[in-house]
Amino acid sequence: MIARLVDGVPKRALILLGLLMAAMLVAPLLVDPYILSVLVIILYFAYTGQAWNVMMGFAGQLSLGHALYVGLGGYTAAALYVHFGIGPWAGVWVAIAISMAFGLGIGFLAFRFGIGGVYFALLTIAFAEFTRIGFDHFDWVNGSGGLFLPVEQYSVNDLPNLRGSPTMFYYILLALTAGAFLLCRWLLTGRIGYYWLAIREEPEAAQTLGINVFRYKMIAVAISAGMTALSGVFFAFYYNNLFPEQIFNISRSIELILGPIIGGVGSLFGPILGAFVLTVLAETVTEVMHALGYEIPGIKQVFYGICLLVVIIYLPHGIWPPLRKRLGLEQKP
């Protein structure tokens, strides 16, 4: 199984990956709290982007409503914690199950009735939007007033209840991101991965080669939704508050797919690289504007838009594939 993960990967790539991992592991010891919070955001987008990539990058199904799964995951775990005192490590499984069920429901409606391409994307937006409106009126989780988790000062990290310092959250996210990377690598080098790519490239030909297209699309949606639910659980316990208007918002759905698009849809390292590049640049722009004395609301969004334009025009496959080639890290056939 481990052999399959590294099969055909150049040694240099493994060494660079190891170095990156080592750097990420020691980073909290070296950086100030602000940089650490930026690193948390980077990892959050890297992980969530990887989850979205399973559906779009591998199986070719464009979801523009992934905030739905973030929100459902976050709300489920937070509500279980607030109302019943069920800890996040138990609640996360319920969160995953509920997100998967929603994903499978949407997938069934779309794939069973042949809704594809842009219409599928619209369907995903619609589900995210009406779930947002539904949660606005969902009194059990305090509707539009928002759901708050109890906040106290902690002298020690309470890992079982996910209460503690940013450093603890950083390491949890790092583990999640690394785990998602390995999981995706494992999926992509297996039978299911090749079947997804075939479906992405040419569904009719894929079916002719014996692939049950409906089933494999459903599996992609379930895995992607389940992985994304974890982002939501993290979000809830890190920020301690959830508002339907924020977490289910379409701008959140768009924000979390920018990383993989800029990094390289369908590549494994693309979402991670994209999250790094985008977050670091956006923070820099904000800092520079701040230093120059300008406070322009929405500057980050404008900047995201420009990045997206530049990448789509000049690097339609994202930054990572050409960079990978230049670094000589391409996989041997």
Q: Tell me if 141 contacts another protein by CB under 8 A.
A: no
Question: Is the CB of residue 12 less than 8 Å from the CB of residue 329?
Answer: yes
CA–CA gap between residue 224 and residue 100 (Å, rounded): 8
Q: Tell me if 205 contacts another protein by CB under 8 A.
A: yes
Whichever of 195 and 276 has its CB closer to another protein, that residue is: 195
Q: Tell me if 220 contacts another protein by CB under 8 A.
A: no
Q: Hey, is 59 helix, strand or coil?
A: coil
Q: Tell me if 182 contacts another protein by CB under 8 A.
A: no
**C-alpha distance from residue 121 to each of 79, 250, 294 (Å):** 29, 12, 37
Whichever of 166 and 203 has its CB closer to another protein, that residue is: 203
Residue 242, beta-bridge partner list: 147
**Residues binding another protein: what is the number (CB under 8 A)?**
23
Residue of 190, 305, 316, 322 interacting with another protein (CB under 8 A): 190
Q: Tell me if 323 contacts another protein by CB under 8 A.
A: no
Q: Smallest distance, Å, CB 196 to another protein?
A: 10
Q: Smallest distance, Å, CB 160 to another protein?
A: 39
Whichever of 211 and 329 has its CB closer to another protein, that residue is: 211
Q: Smallest distance, Å, CB 4 to another protein?
A: 7
Q: Smallest distance, Å, CB 291 to another protein?
A: 43
Q: Which stretch binds another protein (CB under 8 A): 155-163, 177-185, 189-197, 302-310?
A: 189-197
Residue 299, beta-bridge partner list: none
Residue of 50, 63, 177, 189 interacting with another protein (CB under 8 A): 189
Q: What x/- string results for residues 248 through 277 when contact with another protein is judged by CB under 8 A?
A: ------------------x-----------
Q: Tell me if 207 contacts another protein by CB under 8 A.
A: yes
Q: Tell me if 191 contacts another protein by CB under 8 A.
A: yes
Whichever of 252 and 324 has its CB closer to another protein, that residue is: 324
Q: What is the CA radius of gyration of the chain?
A: 20
- Please state the separation of Cα 236 from the chain's center in Å: 15
Q: How many degrees, rounded to 5, is the angle at CA 148 between CA 139 and CA 144?
A: 40
Residue recorded with tokens 């208007």:
245
Residue recorded with tokens 């790519």:
197
First to last CA, the chain: 19
Whichever of 7 and 287 has its CB closer to another protein, that residue is: 7
Q: Tell me if 316 contacts another protein by CB under 8 A.
A: no
Question: Is the CB of residue 44 less than 8 Å from the CB of residue 235?
Answer: yes
Angle between helices 67-84 and 88-112 (to 10 degrees): 140
Whichever of 209 and 291 has its CB closer to another protein, that residue is: 209
**C-alpha distance from residue 144 to each of 31, 137, 240, 315 (Å):** 37, 7, 15, 41
Q: Hey, is 71 helix, strand or coil?
A: helix
Q: Smallest distance, Å, CB 260 to another protein?
A: 16
Element (H, E) at 13: helix 11-30
Q: Which stretch binds another protein (CB under 8 A): 100-108, 193-201, 255-263, 272-280?
A: 193-201
Residue of 85, 114, 150, 210 interacting with another protein (CB under 8 A): 210
Residue 239's Cβ-count burial label (10 Å; 0-12, 13-18, 19+) is: middle
> Interface with another protein by CB under 8 A: which residues?
4, 7, 189-191, 194-195, 197-198, 201-202, 204-213, 266, 333
